[in-house]
Amino acid sequence: MRKKIVGSSWKMHVNSITQGTELASSIAQRVGHRDDVDLFFLPPFVLIERIRDIFSDTNILVGAQNCAPIEKGAMTGEVPISLLEEIGCTYIELGHAERKEFFNETDPMVAQKVALCEKYDLTPIVCIGEKQSDIDSGQSEMTLKSQVQWALELVSEPFRKRVILAYEPVWAIGQAESADKDYIDKTHKLLRQIVRDSYSNELADSIRIIYGGSVSPKTASELSTVEDVDGLFIGRFGLSGEGFEAIVNNFMQSNK
């Protein structure tokens, strides 16, 4: 049985200490003691320790939105994974479409970072997803296959089971609505099949594949019965305690 998981990256939407601490307090109050679902938040680096403290007596875990591709050295402006481990991160998000677009992050770089997660015993949340141009040129399946394989290639078989694949169609990020239910269902099945064909039945049956891209309370209701959707990765619509709680409640309504 794959346990459901719902979380949110604050990206750079949260840009003051007050905003972050108030948001975390509201979330802690509303959903902090659920144990039917894993919950996580990925604040900007500077806020991680404060948010970790606010969640300290809850079941909510924290993580980072990125880490450096090497352990230490001359890499100005980057954050080493060892520090993230030391301050209590559980999760590291890797390869988000915005990192690829604005910072030229590549799939081989993501693979290196996943390997560092294994070394430091942290759980990677690896973003994968096709662009509109992949759809237009009939390349979606190839793109997804390559991204899945890069995500899992450099780590051991036991660790692969811990990796969380976040399917985020690039064209559905930052929109009014998420991709539609049938499209998400079909693609999650395809992703699980890619894992099955590339690795093993055991891995395909145990790896968690979550959906992200304009997730709202409405998306959460629609996806609550979709078998291959193991969780949600929330952006803008989770930036209030109320919004986040509504998404968790709607997604978990048929999982009680």
Q: How far is the CB of 103 from ligand PGA (least distance, A)?
A: 15
Binders in 150-179 for ligand PGA, by CB under 6 A: 168, 173-174
Q: How far is the CB of 169 from ligand PGA (least distance, A)?
A: 10
Q: Which amino acid is at 41?
A: F
Q: How far is the CB of 8 from ligand PGA (least distance, A)?
A: 8
Lookup result for tokens 């992050």: 105
Q: Are 229 and 180 in contact (CB under 8 A)?
A: no
Q: Which is nearer to ligand PGA, 109 or 215 (CB)?
A: 215
Considering all CA atoms of the chain, what is the largest pairwise distance in Å, rounded to the nearest integer?
A: 50
Using CB under 6 A as the criterion, what x/- string covers residues 26-55 for binding ligand PGA? Answer: ------------------------------
Q: Which amino acid is at 217?
A: P
Q: Which is nearer to ligand PGA, 69 or 235 (CB)?
A: 235
Q: Does 7 bind ligand PGA (CB under 6 A)?
A: no
Among 220, 235, 246, 247, binds ligand PGA (CB under 6 A): 235
Q: Which is nearer to ligand PGA, 68 or 125 (CB)?
A: 125
Q: Which is nearer to ligand PGA, 88 or 243 (CB)?
A: 243
Strand-pair category, 38-42 with 60-64: parallel
Among 214, 241, 246, 247, binds ligand PGA (CB under 6 A): 214
| Residues in Cβ contact with 55 at an 8 Å cutoff, skipping those fewer than 6 apart | 24, 28, 32, 41, 61, 62
| Residue 96 annotated to the active site | yes
Whole-number Cα distances in Å, 132 to 36, 147, 224: 35, 16, 26
Task: Please state, as a whole number, how many other Cβ atoms lie within 10 Å of the Cβ of residue 27.
Answer: 26
Q: Which stretch binds ligand PGA (CB under 6 A): 49-57, 152-160, 186-194, 213-221?
A: 213-221
Selecting among 85, 118, 130, 168, the annotated active-site residue is 168
Q: Which is nearer to ligand PGA, 68 or 232 (CB)?
A: 232
Q: How far is the CB of 127 from ligand PGA (least distance, A)?
A: 7
Task: Please state, as a whole number, how many other Cβ atoms lie within 10 Å of the Cβ of residue 18.
Answer: 8
Catalytic residues: 96, 168
Which residues form the interface with ligand PGA (CB under 6 A)?
A: 9, 168, 173-174, 212-215, 233-236
